[in-house]
Homo-oligomer: A and B are copies of this chain.
């Protein structure tokens, strides 16, 4: 195996380092966050850090750097209090990735890609049309992370739309049936073809020990 010490990592070429460190935590969720500015500019941006925090209430978090392109998303969700989360799937992955380009805040990524905005039930922020899972989110709280000056943004699920055929009898959403993508590193997209479920695990008897 190749070994990198903390000092090795620190001294790596910048591009090599961000590729390496972004791909060494495992697969990441592949989502588009939709938001809208006070002036009505619709923003959509790819995020790979959306993480389940709890189910009751249903709460998700994500991390952002306030000084990058992601600023539009942050400004919008702080101003309007709402945003959407939409799953990236096989058919839109290239356009979805293009939303990582740094556009000015007066330009909508919906105008620069084939992604289409969709509005539902008077929710203020745009969803991404065709996404097999779409979430209406309400901003709850934020935590500045001292270690590297990022921000953890936490929101509550206030609406969930799921393609009917993905939901199994016990509530499990089978993402592989919809060609949902996972992100590897900064720019790799993988689309798993199937899923295997192992169920709820109970401790084995000690005598069963292997």
Contacts and interface: CB of A to CB of B under 8 A. Distances in A.
Q: What is the predominant secondary structure among interface residues of chain A facing chain B?
A: mixed
Most buried by B among A1, A22, A100, A189: A1
Given A28-B51, A57-B148, 8 more contacts: A1-B163, A20-B173, A24-B160, A25-B50, A48-B52, A140-B147, A173-B185, A174-B184
Given A24-B135, A143-B143, A161 B98 contact: no
B50 A26 contact: yes
Interface string A84-106: 01011000011001111111000
Contacts of A17: 55-56, 171
B154 A147 contact: yes
Given A20-B173, A27-B175, A29-B26, A100 B190 contact: no
Interface string A117-148: 00000000000000001110000110101111
